[in-house]
């Protein structure tokens, strides 16, 4: 299928957003003034737990609506539920959403920006088909757990090991534990574990 022109894509997306969400306040005339406004800078947000929990239903509905109308994973492959369009279309759509008061993707930032891309690159076909539609549609929100005592955020230094249990046909984590999560409460999270203490850490670690 031939991709629509970017201008036509944005025109349709703008009409779709306008039907569902009010326009955001115009900030074009707001000038930057030194000493005014919040000067707090964080890599990861730490919102109030109650406020975050209250916002999650709207964020999940937002993600599901995006998914149902082809905007949930604009640059993703069609066989996995994506729209199959260039990444430039996804970036343009993200800029367009800033003109509207949408719930946004602050809560699933790690889920969509770190966990999903990791599965895309390193996951099995079964994992991709199962997890990616859930993550991009907002049905599942994942987080990242870090770090391990003595290892920090250095994956090559992680000591938690996955031990294969006889008779169960599965691997069980054993060792240190994560000290912090990045993401909303109650999500699914990936963990990093060593499969072999003898192999180099960069080759014996899985997620």
Query: What's the confidence (pLDDT) of residue 50?
Result: 79
Residue 155: closest CA among 116, 120, 191: 191
Q: pLDDT of 21-79, one tens digit each? A: 999 987 655 676 787 777 766 666 666 777 777 888 999 999 999 999 999 999 999 99
Sequence ranges of the chain with CATH classification 1.10.540.10: 6-21+51-136
The Cβ-side half-sphere exposure at 184, using a 13 Å CA radius, reads 22
Per-residue confidence band for 80, with pLDDT thresholds at 50, 70 and 90 = very high
Query: What's the confidence (pLDDT) of residue 197?
Result: 45
Query: What's the confidence (pLDDT) of residue 193?
Result: 46
pTM of the predicted model as reported, rounded to 2 decimal places: 0.71
Please give the CATH topology (third level) of the domain spanning 6-21+51-136. Answer: Butyryl-Coa Dehydrogenase, subunit A; domain 1 (1.10.540)
Per-residue confidence band for 195, with pLDDT thresholds at 50, 70 and 90 = very low
Q: What is the mean pLDDT of residues 174-193?
A: 50
Q: pLDDT of 89-123, one tens digit each? A: 999 999 999 999 999 888 888 899 999 999 999 99
DSSP codes, 59-118: HHHHHHHHHHTT-SSTTS-GGGT-----HHHHHHHHHHHTTB----SSTTHHIIIIIHHH
Decide which of 186 and 179 is more confident.
186
């Amino acid at each position: 299928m031939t991709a629509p022109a970017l201008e036509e894509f944005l025109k349709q997306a703008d009409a779709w957003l306008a039907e569902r969400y009010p326009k955001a306040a115009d900030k074009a005339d707001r000038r930057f003034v030194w000493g005014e406004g919040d000067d707090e800078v964080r890599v990861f947000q730490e919102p109030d737990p109650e406020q975050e929990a209250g916002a999650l239903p709207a964020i999940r509905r937002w993600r599901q609506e995006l998914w149902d109308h082809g905007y949930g994973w604009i640059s993703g492959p069609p066989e996995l539920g994506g729209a199959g369009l260039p990444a430039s279309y996804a970036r343009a759509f993200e800029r367009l959403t800033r003109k509207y008061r949408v719930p946004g993707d602050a809560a699933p930032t790690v889920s969509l920006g770190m966990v999903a891309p990791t599965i895309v690159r390193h996951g099995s076909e079964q994992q991709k088909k199962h997890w990616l539609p859930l993550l991009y549609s907002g049905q599942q929100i994942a987080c990242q757990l870090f770090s391990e005592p003595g290892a920090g955020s250095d994956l090559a230094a992680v000591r938690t090991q996955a031990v294969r249990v006889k008779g169960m046909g599965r691997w069980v984590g054993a060792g240190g534990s994560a000290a912090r999560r990045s993401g909303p409460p109650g999500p699914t999270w990936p963990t990093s574990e060593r499969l072999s203490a003898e192999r180099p850490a960069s080759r014996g670690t899985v997620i």
